[in-house]
Structures are given as C-alpha cells and as structure tokens.
Amino acid sequence: MTVEVYYDDDADLGLIQGRKVAVIGYGSQGHAHALSLRDSGVDVVVGLPVGSKSRPKAEEQGLRVLTPAEAAAEADVIMILAPDTAQRALYAEAIAPNLASGKALFFGHGFNIRYDLIKPPADVDVAMVAPKGPGHLVRRQYVDGKGVPCLVAVEQDASGNAFALALSYAKAIGGTRAGAIKTTFKEETETDLFGEQAVLCGGAAALVQTGFEVLTEAGYAPEVAYFECLHELKLIVDLMYEGGIARMRYSVSDTAEYGDLSRGPRVIDARVKEEMRKILGEIQSGEFAREWVAEDEAGRPNFAKWRAEGAAHPIEETGQKLRSMMSWVDRPITETA
Ligand SMILES: NC(=O)C1=CN([C@@H]2O[C@H](COP(=O)(O)OP(=O)(O)OC[C@H]3O[C@@H](n4cnc5c(N)ncnc54)[C@H](OP(=O)(O)O)[C@@H]3O)[C@@H](O)[C@H]2O)C=CC1
Ligand SMILES: CC[C@](O)(C(C)=O)C(=O)O
Ligand SMILES: [Mg+2]
Ligand SMILES: [Mg+2]
C-alpha cells in the first residue's frame, strides 16, 4: 500500500496564518507547536488552567496565556495538547461550550476521537497533526530550519477544506519540511499505541531489564551488565536509525551478527509474536482504552505501583552511578525557545 506524502510546496501557510489558533496545553508537544506557530506568523494563544505550572514559562517565552475556555472562545482552530486522559473532561468543560460552526478542532494524537471519548458536533472540522517525535525534538528541528515528519488526518470535514488546513498547520510547525503522511485517526491511534506498548517503550524496557537480570543473577557485575544491556543499545539503535537493521549488521562484528541472526529469533519467538498480536487486539477492540480510562478514573493505583517498581529496579541504581561518570550522557531535557 502506498502512502501519500506532502511537502512544503503542497501546503499553503496562508490558511493557518489567516486563523486564530488556541494551543491547549504547554507540555512536550504544546510548547513546540505554540512557539513554532508563532514564529511562522500565526496568531496563537495558549490555553492553560489557572494553576498550571507552565503558565509562567509560556508567558516568559512571549506567548499570551488564557484559560482553556477563554482561548477556545477566541480561537477558530483549537489544538488539544493536554494529556490524553485529561482531554474528555477538558473538552466537555472548556471547549464544547466554545465551539461554533466553522471552527476546527485539532489533535496531536487520535485517542479520544478513536475511542469516542470526545464527540464533536457535525459542523466543525476535526483533524490531526501528529509529529512522529517528542515535542522537544519537534521544536529543535523547527529552529534549525528542519522538521520532524508528521501524520495528518481528517476525521470530519465540515468545511470541505479540513485537510488543506491541517497541512497548513503542519507546515507552520516544520512538519512538511520533512514530509507529512496522510493517515486516519484509527490508523494513527492504533499503530501509535501498539508501537509504544509492544516495541518502543514496553518491549524495549522489558528486554533491557530482563537481559540485565539474567546477567546479574548469573553473577556478572551490574556495571558490566548495564553497559551491555542498556548503554550500548543507543549505539545500536543509532545505527538502525541511520541505515536500518542492515547498516547495524554491517557495522557490528561478524561474531555479533552471527549471534544476532541465530539467537535473536529465539528471544523474540512465536510466543512473543502471538502476545504482540494479543496486545494489538486489545487496542483494536478498545479494551486497552477502557482499562486505561478506568485506571485513570480510579486514581491510577496500578500505574503508581508499576512506576515505583520500575524506579526501584536495580538497573536504575547502577545506571545512575555509571551515568555520573559520563558527563555527556546525563543531560536534562531542555527546551528551545
Ligand atoms: N510527548 C510527545 O512527544 C507526544 C505526544 N503526543 C500527544 O500530544 C498530546 C500532549 O501530550 P504531551 O505533550 O506529551 O503532554 P504533556 O504531559 O507533556 O503536557 C500536557 C500539558 O497540558 C497541560 N494540562 C494538563 N491538564 C490540562 C487541562 N485539564 N487543561 C489544559 N491543559 C492541561 C499540562 O499543564 P502543566 O504544564 O501545568 O502540567 C501541560 O502543559 C497527547 O495527546 C499525546 O498523546 C503525540 C506525539 C508525541
Ligand atoms: C513513543 C511514545 C509516544 O507515542 C511518542 C513520543 O510518539 C508518546 O505517546 O509519547
Ligand atoms: Mg508516538
Ligand atoms: Mg503515543
């Protein structure tokens, strides 16, 4: 299946420059979108609750900050970049009462639309501009004159112009410099959840922790196990990132490559693949979304317990000690104003 990819020349920046945009939330994605929209000549206002810790930061960076309801009332394009679990109540309380015919509701991830947690009225455009990278990278790339590729989708085209407007927004945050891929809310949501659960976050973290456990339980030094199972992963992933798995295999020794080819499929075997299919099934059926919403509504008891267990894993203590010996590694996440 071929995908449609759009670049700067396919997008008309004037469309979004002719609208007033409210960016609701000023976290990882929100700060990147708001600052880059402003620098692209768009009239932008940030919406944050009165007690939000990000209010002073957004104001220091020269942005006008209102409450979410005030920002939604002023704007005709409303981009929701609050946490996924906060969006349903935020929409009901602050955004729905301020939506009028002809306005556009934008998202950075399709979760709340895909799982019917938010049901916008029929007379507004509903679209998504989802950068395929963390917000701090989105902003840094924009400032450097480059961009992070993004996914663009339209769920509801009330105006008949929703896709062009979404492409225009993507251009304003640097997305079409790298390429904007047309998708659907369903595809973006399901693949994003699957990727972060099975491979990028869940799969990778469990693989690293388990490898570390096997080595240390067999009596090897935790420091050596840390280097082998976590630290060097970045070097290997960087090679894959630059030139695919083939580039990584070209760069490592023949011994490593033979071990990779002969042993890798024993680690990630048919049972693991079957479990991945199960995880995808839970995403597709809505089971994961229902579980996560219920967990959030219950005050996140399991989330807190699992987070604490993860933080107490011996690999964290070893890592902290080793990273303090490598001044270039333990960098805080910084924002580019
Ligand atoms: N993190 C990422 O790089 C990516 C995120 N996304 C999507 O982007 C969206 C935002 O995620 P992310 O940037 O990680 O979120 P963050 O947690 O980094 O930031 C959320 C922001 O929303 C604010 N906020 C919290 N509650 C409310 C509320 N009720 N009303 C208004 N604002 C509120 C927070 O305020 P305060 O500052 O006070 O905490 C914060 O500024 C999500 O849909 C996510 O799935 C998509 C691609 C990548
Ligand atoms: C991989 C995690 C992510 O999906 C992302 C940065 O794209 C997220 O939800 O944060
Ligand atoms: Mg993602
Ligand atoms: Mg995600």
**Angle in degrees, CA 189, 191, 192, rounded to 5:** 65
- Domains present along the chain, CATH in parentheses: 5-183 (3.40.50.720), 196-325 (no CATH)
CA distance 81 to 59: 17
Q: Ligand 2 — pocket residues by CB below 6 A? A: 134, 192, 196, 200-201
Cα distances (Å, whole numbers) of residue 285 to 185, 187, 208, 298? 15, 13, 29, 22
Place of tokens 């059926």: 285
Give the pLDDT confidence score for residue 326 in this predicted structure.
87
Is residue 109 flagged as an active site residue? yes
Helix (H) or strand (E) holding 186: helix 185-194
> How many whole angstroms from 216 Cα to the centroid of ligand 2?
30
Q: How far apart are CA 99 and CA 72, in angstroms?
A: 7
- In the chain, % of residues over pLDDT 90: 96
* Under 8 Å between Cβ of 35 and 139: yes
Pocket test for ligand 2, best of 111, 193, 201 (most atoms within 8 A of CB): 201
Q: How many Å apart are CA 255 and CA 129, to the nearest integer?
A: 43
| Predicted pLDDT at 336 | 54
**Residue 329 confidence (pLDDT):** 79
The answer to whether the CB of 36 falls within 8 A of the CB of 46 is: no
Mean per-residue pLDDT, 43-67? 98
Model confidence at 334: pLDDT above 90:
no
**By the 8 A CB rule, do 111 and 80 touch?**
no
Contacts of 27 (CB under 8 A, 6+ apart): 54, 81, 83, 135
Sheet of strand 5-6, all strands in order from the earlier edge strand to the far edge: 5-6, 180-183, 150-156, 125-131, 104-107, 77-80, 20-24, 43-47, 64-66
Residue of the CA atom closest to atom 10 of ligand 2: 134
Longest Cα–Cα distance of the chain, Å, equals 67
Q: What are the φ/ψ torsions at residue 215 (nearest 5 degrees)?
A: -70, -45
- Distance in Å, CA 46 to ligand 1 centroid: 12
Each residue of 232-253: pLDDT tens digit? Answer: 999 999 999 999 999 999 999 9
Average pLDDT over residues 288-312: 98
Pick the residue whose CA is nearest to atom 2 on ligand 1.
134
Q: Which residues, judged by CB distance below 6 Å to any ligand atom, belong to the binding site of ligand 1?
A: 24-30, 48-49, 52-54, 68, 81-84, 86, 90, 108-109, 130-131, 134-135
* pTM metric for this prediction: 0.94
Of all atoms in ligand 2, which is nearest to the CA of residue 192? 4
> Binding residue per annotation — 155?
no
Query: Do residues 230 and 319 touch, judged by C-beta distance below 8 A?
Result: yes
DSSP string, 216-274: HHTT--HHHHHIIIIIHHHHHHHHHHHHHHHHHHHHS-HHHHHHHHHHHHHHS-HHHHH
Task: Calculate the average pLDDT of the chain.
Answer: 96
C-alpha angle 118-124-130 in degrees, rounded to nearest 5: 65
CA distance 243 to 237: 10
Active-site residue among 109, 136, 231, 313? 109
Q: Is the pLDDT of residue 331 over 90?
A: no
According to the model, what pLDDT value does residue 332 have? 56
Question: Is a pLDDT exceeding 60 seen at residue 315?
Answer: yes
